């Protein structure tokens, strides 16, 4: 996965290096610009069992700012924001690999360095008894819940 | 014994005759006796499904998981260019401008349409509203939901977008959509039960060709559809997984 490109960033940014569970790392550029979650929409994507994106809907593309071509084939952590505690994603993977649904509030990173909050549900796609991939559906979160996460997430690092 | 076809009870009343016309077309196409049974509500229809009376169903997406994963139904087709979308509407003179203006204790009028009620419940979540802190009044039809909102008996109504847009102009003028879903991937689908599973492929092909046949296109018109589009099993499973994620209610 490519590092973020300063030419894509809107506004002043800070630099971070993220290290993922698979041992890879990415240089990311983040701003303080929040994009509100649009009313009435669901952001939907699917991945293979390894977390590689195989399908995204229009709302996903619109909010992430990446094109569909840029997203397909990339690991889902292309959206990982440095303010998200790694423990949240460990819990996500531990839960879905057991075949269970995971729910959580997630701050996602956009291609332009901005962010958006979602209430995410991830469900394993079980076909003939085997997990063939995962479907993630995000919806608009309650602001009070987001404010709670803004307070608690920094304590989870 | 003829096979039984049934239709999700949320179909638009204008299309009742369309389903009878479709049933006649279907019997000829399959060269089988098919009886169309229209149930008054979802509970009666689910009882019939549980007792294995149903062989073909134009199903609400909310019931798809039960039909496919518990009762062995297979997907055949969905209407082309049509998705289930929902609208939460308030009275036109309501002071409520956005969902976040709403607070606990509000009164809601809704039908028993399960996918619409689920989508609308999700659109109320940003205001932390749920079944516990709202009052729901069930109405028999969308015009009655509209009436309850207009008369001020409730604060808002849950509507199937198609039904909202079919309300009379006078009624719609007295209502204001507060939020409209733009989900695009939730849709009704025609499914076949185990007794007709061997005709799944043939039926998919017959339905997909309907819009190109002059008689078939007339039948489609009476149903209010442009066409039938084949639904693959994985597409159906994907929608079932998606509906499953939506049943989660945040604490």
B13 versus B125: the higher-pLDDT residue is: B125
What pLDDT score was predicted for residue B68? 96
* DSSP characters over chain A: -PPPPGGG--S--EEEEEE-TTS-EEEEEE-SPBPPPPTT--EEEEE-TTSBEEEE-HHHHHHH-S-HHHHTTSBGGGGB-TTS-HHHHHHHHHHHHTT--EEEEEEEEPTTS-EEEEEEEEEEEEETTEEEEEEEEEEPPPHHHHHHHHHHGGGG-
pLDDT > 90 in chain A, percent: 97
What pLDDT score was predicted for residue A21? 85
pLDDT at position A58 over 90: yes
Which domains, ranges and CATH numbers included, belong to chain B?
3-82+186-247 (3.40.190.10), 86-180 (3.40.190.10)
Q: Tell me, yes or no, if B242 comes closer than 8 A to chain A by beta carbon.
A: yes
Angle value at C-alpha B140, between B135 and B141, nearest 5 degrees: 105
Nearest to B177 by CA among A40, A36, A62, A143: A40
Mean pLDDT of A66-82: 97
Q: Mind telling me how many Å the CA of B124 is from chain A's nearest CA? A: 9
What pLDDT score was predicted for residue B251? 79
pTM > 0.90: yes
Helix (H) or strand (E) holding B44: helix B42-50
Mark yes or no for CB contact A40/B241 under 8 Å: no
Q: Provide the residue count of chain B.
A: 251
Q: Mind telling me how many Å the CA of A145 is from chain B's nearest CA? A: 9
Q: Which of B186, B241, B247, B251 to mutate to test the interface with A (most CBs of A within 10 A)?
A: B241
CB atoms within 10 A of CB B114: 17
What pLDDT score was predicted for residue B205? 95
Per CB-CB distance under 8 Å, the chain A contacts of B181 are 40-41
Q: Which CATH architecture has domain A6-156?
A: 2-Layer Sandwich (3.30)
What pLDDT score was predicted for residue B152? 98
Q: Residue B82, SS3?
A: coil
Nearest CA in chain A to B128: A142
What pLDDT score was predicted for residue B110? 98
Residue B249: pLDDT band (50, 70, 90) is confident
Residue B82: pLDDT band (50, 70, 90) is confident
Mean pLDDT of B62-67: 94
Q: How many CB pairs under 8 A join A and B?
A: 69
pLDDT at position A5 over 80: yes
Mean pLDDT of B50-56: 97
B13 versus B7: the higher-pLDDT residue is: B7
CA distances, A53 to each of A56, A60, B224 (Å)? 8, 12, 36
Residue-wise pLDDT for A77-136, tens only, equals: 999 999 999 999 999 999 999 999 999 999 999 999 999 999 999 999 999 999 999 999
What pLDDT score was predicted for residue B12? 78
What pLDDT score was predicted for residue A81? 98
A147 versus B1: the higher-pLDDT residue is: A147
Which sequence spans correspond to the domains of chain A? 6-156
What pLDDT score was predicted for residue A146? 98
Mark yes or no for CB contact A142/B122 under 8 Å: no
Beta strands in B69-188 (DSSP E): 74-79, 86-91, 107-110, 135-138, 156-160, 175-180
Mean pLDDT of A21-36: 95
Give the mean pLDDT of chain A. 96
Residue-wise pLDDT for B111-146, tens only, equals: 999 999 999 999 999 999 999 999 999 999 999 999
pLDDT at position B81 over 90: no
Residue keyed to tokens 């009052």: B135
pLDDT at position B14 over 90: no
Q: Tell me, yes or no, if B99 comes closer than 8 A to chain A by beta carbon.
A: yes
């Amino acid at each position: 996965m490519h590092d973020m490109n300063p030419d894509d960033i809107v506004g002043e940014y800070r630099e971070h290096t993220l290290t993922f569970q698979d041992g890879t790392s990415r240089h990311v550029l983040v701003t303080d610009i929040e994009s509100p979650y649009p009313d009435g929409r669901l952001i939907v994507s699917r991945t293979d069992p390894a977390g590689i994106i195989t399908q995204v809907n229009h709302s996903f593309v619109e909010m992430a700012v990446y094109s569909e071509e840029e997203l397909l084939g990339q690991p889902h952590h292309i959206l990982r924001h440095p303010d998200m505690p790694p423990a949240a994603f460990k819990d996500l993977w531990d839960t879905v690999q057991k075949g269970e649904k995971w729910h959580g509030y997630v701050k996602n990173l956009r291609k332009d360095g901005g962010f958006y909050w979602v209430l995410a549900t991830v469900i394993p796609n079980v076909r003939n008894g085997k997990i063939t991939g995962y479907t993630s559906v995000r919806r608009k979160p309650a602001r009070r819940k987001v404010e709670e996460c803004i307070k608690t997430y920094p304590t989870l690092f | 014994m003829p096979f039984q076809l049934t239709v999700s009870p949320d179909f638009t009343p204008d299309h009742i005759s369309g389903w009878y016309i479709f049933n006649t077309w279907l019997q000829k196409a399959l060269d089988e006796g098919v009886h169309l049974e229209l149930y008054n509500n979802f509970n009666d229809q689910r009882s019939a499904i549980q007792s294995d009376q149903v062989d073909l169903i134009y199903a609400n997406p909310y019931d798809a998981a039960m039909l496919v994963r518990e009762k062995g139904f297979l997907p055949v087709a969905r209407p082309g260019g049509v998705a289930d979308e929902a609208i939460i509407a308030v009275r036109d003179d309501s002071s409520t401008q956005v969902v976040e203006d709403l607070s606990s204790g509000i009164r809601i009028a809704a039908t028993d349409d399960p996918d619409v009620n689920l989508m609308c419940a999700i659109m109320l979540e940003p205001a932390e509203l749920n079944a516990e802190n709202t009052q729901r009044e069930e109405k028999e039809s969308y015009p009655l939901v509209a009436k309850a909102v207009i008369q001020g008996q409730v604060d808002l109504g849950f509507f199937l977008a198609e039904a909202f847009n079919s309300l009379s102009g006078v009624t719609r003028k007295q209502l204001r959509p507060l939020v409209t879903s733009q989900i695009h991937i939730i849709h009704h689908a025609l499914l076949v039960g185990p007794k007709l599973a061997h005709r799944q492929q043939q039926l998919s092909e017959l339905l997909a060709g309907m819009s190109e046949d002059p008689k078939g296109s007339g039948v489609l018109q009476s149903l209010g559809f442009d066409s039938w589009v084949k639904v693959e099993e994985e597409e159906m499973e994907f929608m079932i997984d998606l509906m499953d994620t939506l049943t989660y209610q945040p604490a």
